[in-house]
Every structure is written in C-alpha cells, then in structure tokens.
Amino acid sequence: MLTNINPTETEAWKKLQEHFYATKSFAMKDYFSTDANRANRFSIQWKDFYVDYSKNRISPKTMELLLELANEVHLKENIEKYFDGEIINETEGRAVLHTALRAKETSEVFVNGQNVIPEIYKVKQKIKEFSESVISGTKTGHTGKAFTDIVNIGIGGSDLGPVMVTEALQYYKNHLNVHFVSNVDGDHVQEIIKNLNPETTLFVIVSKSFTTQETLTNALTIRKWFLTHASEKAIEQHFVAVSTNLEKINEFGIASKNVFPMRDWVGGRFSLWSAVGLSISLSVGYDNFEKLNAGAHAMDTHFRTTSFDQNIPVVLALLSVWYNNFYGAESEAIIPYTQYLHQFAAYLQQGIMESNGKSVDRGGNRVNYQTGTLIWGEPGTNSQHAFFQLIHQGTKLIPADFIGYVESLHGNNEHHDKLMANFFAQTEALLHGKTEAEVVAELSAKGMGASQMEKLLPFKIFEGNKPTNTILVDKLTPESLGALIALYEHKIFVQGVIWNIFSYDQWGVELGKQLATKILTDIQSAEIAEHDASTTNLLKHFKKSKK
Ligand code: F6P
C-alpha cells in the first residue's frame, strides 16, 4: 500500500506556502542576474538528455522545500512499492507493473508470489516471431500474398500509445502501412477500410478488457466486411488479438494461437510496452520495439536510483506541483520541436489526465487542494502560429515543456537550425519578455512619433517571467523515445504520491459508458426512458430528424 498523507498537512507544504507568498513577485530574470551559476545549478545531464529547468520561478530554497515535500510523503519508499509489484492500484486490487515489461530477462518481479518476468519474455518471443514473419512475408494472407497493411483496432490506451509511437518512429518504419481505427464513429472505420485489400491486410484487435464498446463494434464491422471478401476459415490468417480476456477473444472467434496475452497489472494507458505494442513491432520491427523498451528501462533505473535533486521525473513533477498548487496554474503545455511527436500531447492527455484527474484521496476523503493538471500542446513551430500568443501575453500562467533534438533525422541542417533557433528563442522570450524601455527603443529606432508610440506601448510590452523546462535530447531514436515516455510516466507517479490519490484507476469514465448503453436503447426503441428535460428534448429532436 502507498502511504496516505495529506500533503497540505506536511511541514514542507506549510513552508512552501510561506515561501510562495514571500517570493511570488520575484522575476526569473533577476534570479539569473544574481546567480551566475543558475543555469548549471538547475540542469541535469543524463545520458543523451540535457534538461534545463532554470527558467522556472524557483530559487535554491524553493527546490530545497520541494525536495523536503517529496521526502515527507515518503516518495522513496513509495517508488520501491511501485517497482516491487505491490498492490498500489488499490481500488482495482492490482499491481502497476509497466516497469516489469521493460526489465531485463534476468530480473525478478513478483506478483502474488510469482515471478512475472519469464511470462513477459515468453510473450515478447511470440511478438518477435510473429512480427518478423509478417514483415518478411513468410506469414501471408489467405490467398498466399504477403501482408501490406496492418489495422490496429483499439481505443484509449489500446490506441494512443501505439499510434503515438508509430508516428514518432516513422523514420524507422518498414514497408507495412499501419492504420488505426479507434472511434465508434462509423465514418472513421469506413474511411480506413475503403482503401484496404482484404487479401493483404492484417487486423490487430487490441482491448485489455475485450468488452470496450467502440473496439468490439469496430472489430465486428471489419469482420463482417472481411467476410464479404473471404471465407470464415480465412479469419484465422487475418485476425489477431491482444487482451487479458481470453474467454471473450474465444467468443469472438479468434484462434488461440493468434492471441497475444497481457496481464491486469498493465494499465491501459501504460500498456504500449506490452503486447499492446504489437503494431509498433510490426511497423518498426521487433529490434526497434525492444530498443524502445530498453530506453524506458534506462529511465526506470535513473528514476529508481538517482538522488531526487538530480532525478529528472522527480524534479519535473515537483515543479509541476509548485505551479499547480501554489501558483494556481491550471494547465501545462507540451511543445515538441519535431513533427514526429505530433501525437505526444494527445498521448499524455490520457496518461496524465486519466491518472491524476482525481478528487478523492487515498483515505477516501475529498481533497482540499488541486490535483491533475490539464495537458495540451502541439509541435513547434506550428504552435507558435496558433496559441503562443496566449502563453506570451494572455492572463493565464501556463508552464510549458519544450522538447527538442540536437540532430535532425534526415540531416537537413538548414531546416533544423531554423527549427532549433525558434525552440531556443521561444523559451528566452518567455523568460525575458520585453520591457517598456525596450519597446520605446525599438519604436524610436523605427522613427515612430511620440503620440503613436504612447498609444501602442501597452500592447507591445511582454511581461515575460513565463516558466519553461527545456528537454534537449541528442536524437529521436527508439531508445530516447522510450526514455522520454517513461520520464512522463514516472512524473505521473510522483505527482500521484504527493497528491495522495490513486493514479491507476479510472472510475470517472464509467458513468458515461453506462448511460450510453441506456441511451442506445432509447435511440433504438420507440420509447425514451426518463432523463433530465434537456437530454429528453435532445433525444426527441435527434430521433425525429434522423432519416
Ligand atoms: O477510457 C477508459 C479505458 O478503460 C482506458 O483506461 C483504456 O485505455 C480504454 O478504456 C480501452 O480499454 P480496453 O483496452 O479494455 O479496450
């Protein structure tokens, strides 16, 4: 069991509150001008990662108190419980062991007295052999043709991880076209299948529970479409499944040799390292899938063994708590300066918001402080031309993570230098802003008259003092991507420990699912059951207008 400590009752929290009032009007640029060592003091070099967190509203005292908070909530002890397979997802009675999926084959991790590593490696071997046979063309479709297309059918964690990683590792991709069907919107599935050749397409149904409405509906639609082109017998060669629910897979008619099992101690939003990553392995090859896992394992080791002041996930989690709970910041932006990571913020939205969007603490009481942050973002430089205005001059405080790479993959240095110039320029601009004197000097140099200048001045001033973290990595490789994802996974864990919430359940998504089942009956039958007046009216309007 994780500890149960209300963070606001710790000594560190009280000190942080006082410290916040005493320092909240300080400007970051003043911290820089009075501390020549600030950039070095507040940066961490780990393998090919260089993390600069000096552009934050912190002093050494702030970090000291935040680290004190981590110690007071027994973070170290809780990390060990997480890695050791304790039942830390208490409301579902499960361990949380995505870290075991990337552990070395020689390691041992016990769940209910059983070492889970041999089974993990058995499934890995199956993923490897299957991926290699599909990629090489040894495994074929029912007419003997090699596969050309893969369709991953899943939603939430059974979609977002694989889709984000296959996009991110596009550079490392082989000849197979990988598609993703997730939404129960029939137009989504139709748009995907309309261009597929049933003879050369492999379908991967991914659902941890194998009861998810969207996935089963899409899988059945695809199966029906497939059977208009092939016989029932051909299903065996074209459909495989990833799940914990072997009974339901069987009912669906998937041959047991085509099942890639996973365990309930893998959370959906942390499952890409398991058989859920089959589409990743098919897309970039098993070796790259394993490198991704190895990168995550390296970050696991860093997180588990490094002192908190040099520990990247811990430091980033503490900074996020500082803004969320003391500055009242409601959201965080994730801005990768690579188009390959264009799905990264969407992926983290599930990871972070489904995990830490909780308002009841580990003792079952309503929390009296803020928890999970809103996550959003898009790649730079596109986002600069979309929402950066609000980050620079809006009324909200939005801490942002800037993720960039020293090398570009295709080696187009002219582009890459421009991209990275923007990357560095934005965090500098967010730090410094533009003072009245600077605006006056700039406008005077342009020959602007005094009265016009006076009019324009307020609009041209940037306050600056906007916090950012810079995560600069040598190169986007499967290993560095694995480490980056694991970094955020552990940040989620640290924040969950501090906020004293259960990060690994998701009861909040159940109510909507239950109501949708009831409403489907209302839509498909003559009567509408009792609802609030607004929902009843909307349903009446929908049914009346529907052709
Ligand atoms: O959205 C709720 C959720 O349970 C997620 O946590 C999960 O990733 C998704 O649904 C899909 O679930 P499954 O893999 O069981 O189909």
Measured between alpha carbons, how far is 369 from 173 in angstroms, rounded to an integer?
45
Strand-pairing partners, residue 334, are 401
Q: Is 535 in the pocket of ligand 1 (CB under 6 A)?
A: no
Q: At 227, is the pLDDT very low, low, confident or very high (cuts 50, 70, 90)? A: very high
Span 277-304, mean pLDDT? 98
- Residue 187 has a pLDDT of 98
Measured between alpha carbons, how far is 474 from 408 in angstroms, rounded to an integer?
9
Span 459-483, mean pLDDT? 98
Q: Is the pLDDT of residue 253 over 90?
A: no
Residue with CA closest to ligand 1 atom 2:
509
Residue with CA closest to ligand 1 atom 6:
268
**Catalytic residue check, 354:** yes
Average predicted confidence (pLDDT) for the chain: 97
Which residue out of 98, 160, 209 has the highest number of ligand 1 atoms within 8 Å of its CB and is therefore the one to mutate? 209
Q: Report which DSSP code applies to 367.
A: P
Q: Is the pLDDT of residue 34 over 90?
A: yes
Instruction: Extract the tokens encoding 356.
Output: 């830490």
215 CA to middle of ligand 1, Å? 10
**Catalytic residue check, 544:** no
List the catalytic residue out of 175, 233, 257, 385.
385
Q: Is 207 in the pocket of ligand 1 (CB under 6 A)?
A: yes
Of the candidates 184, 194, 214, 193, which has an alpha carbon nearest to the alpha carbon of residue 151? 193
> Using N-to-C axis directions, what is the helix angle for 213-227 and 510-524, rounded to 10°?
50
Which residue out of 91, 96, 152, 158 has the highest number of ligand 1 atoms within 8 Å of its CB and is therefore the one to mutate? 158
Pairing state between β 49-52 and 43-46 = antiparallel
Q: Which residues are within 8 A (CB) of 518 and not within 5 positions of it... i.e. 6 or more apart?
A: 529
Span 458-474, mean pLDDT? 97
Instruction: Extract the tokens encoding 537.
Output: 């009216």
For residues 292 and 477, is the Cβ–Cβ distance under 8 A? no
Strand-pairing partners, residue 149, are 177, 201
User: Burial letters for 187-222: b for 16+ Cβ neighbours within 10 Å, e otherwise?
Assistant: eebeebbeebebbbbbbbbbbbebebebbbebbebb
- Residue 362 has a pLDDT of 98
Phi-psi region of 185 (alpha: psi -120 to 50; beta: other; left: phi over 0): beta
Q: Is the pLDDT of residue 547 over 90?
A: no
- Residue 296 has a pLDDT of 98
- Residue 12 has a pLDDT of 98
Share of the chain above pLDDT 90, in %: 98
Q: Measured from the CA of 209, which atom of ligand 1 is nearest?
A: 15
Q: Is 351 in the pocket of ligand 1 (CB under 6 A)?
A: no
pTM of the model: 0.98
Measured between alpha carbons, how far is 175 from 192 in angstroms, rounded to an integer?
18
Q: Is the pLDDT of residue 212 over 90?
A: yes
Chain-centroid distance, C-alpha 295: 16
Share of the chain above pLDDT 70, in %: 100
Q: At 313, is the pLDDT very low, low, confident or very high (cuts 50, 70, 90)? A: very high
For residues 469 and 426, is the Cβ–Cβ distance under 8 A? no
**Catalytic residue check, 229:** no
> What is the residue-wise DSSP string for 84-147?
TT---BGGGTB---HHHHTS-TT---EETTEE-HHHHHHHHHHHHHHHHHHHHTSSB-TTSPBP
Q: Measured from the CA of 243, which atom of ligand 1 is nearest?
A: 14
Q: Is 268 in the pocket of ligand 1 (CB under 6 A)?
A: yes
9 CA to middle of ligand 1, Å? 34
Of the candidates 157, 198, 146, which has an alpha carbon nearest to the alpha carbon of residue 180? 157
Q: Is 506 in the pocket of ligand 1 (CB under 6 A)?
A: yes
Pairing state between β 49-52 and 468-473 = antiparallel
The pLDDT tens digits for 336-352 are 999 999 999 999 999 99
Handedness of CA 61, 65, 66, 68 (dihedral sign): positive
340 CA to middle of ligand 1, Å? 25
- Residue 465 has a pLDDT of 98
Q: Span 98-289: which CATH code? A: 3.40.50.10490
List the catalytic residue out of 104, 122, 418, 513.
513
Of the candidates 365, 372, 162, 156, which has an alpha carbon nearest to the alpha carbon of residue 278? 162
Q: At 73, is the pLDDT very low, low, confident or very high (cuts 50, 70, 90)? A: very high
Residue 526 CB burial class (10 angstroms; 0-12, 13-18, ≥19): exposed
For residues 161 and 168, is the Cβ–Cβ distance under 8 A? no
Measured between alpha carbons, how far is 1 from 17 in angstroms, rounded to an integer?
28
- Residue 414 has a pLDDT of 97
Q: Is 274 in the pocket of ligand 1 (CB under 6 A)?
A: no
- Residue 152 has a pLDDT of 98
Q: Measured from the CA of 158, which atom of ligand 1 is nearest?
A: 14
- Residue 118 has a pLDDT of 98
268 CA to middle of ligand 1, Å? 6
End-to-end CA distance of the chain: 54
User: Burial letters for 339-375: b for 16+ Cβ neighbours within 10 Å, e otherwise?
Assistant: ebbbbbbbbbbbbbbbbbbbeebbeeeebeeebbbeb
Q: Which residues are within 8 A (CB) of 240 and not within 5 positions of it... i.e. 6 or more apart?
A: 130, 202, 203, 204, 205, 254, 258, 259, 260, 278
For residues 302 and 487, is the Cβ–Cβ distance under 8 A? no
Span 329-334, mean pLDDT? 98
CATH superfamily of 7-73+306-432+467-505: Glucose-6-phosphate isomerase like protein; domain 1 (3.40.50.10490)
List the catalytic residue out of 86, 354, 378, 489.
354
Measured between alpha carbons, how far is 315 from 469 in angstroms, rounded to an integer?
10
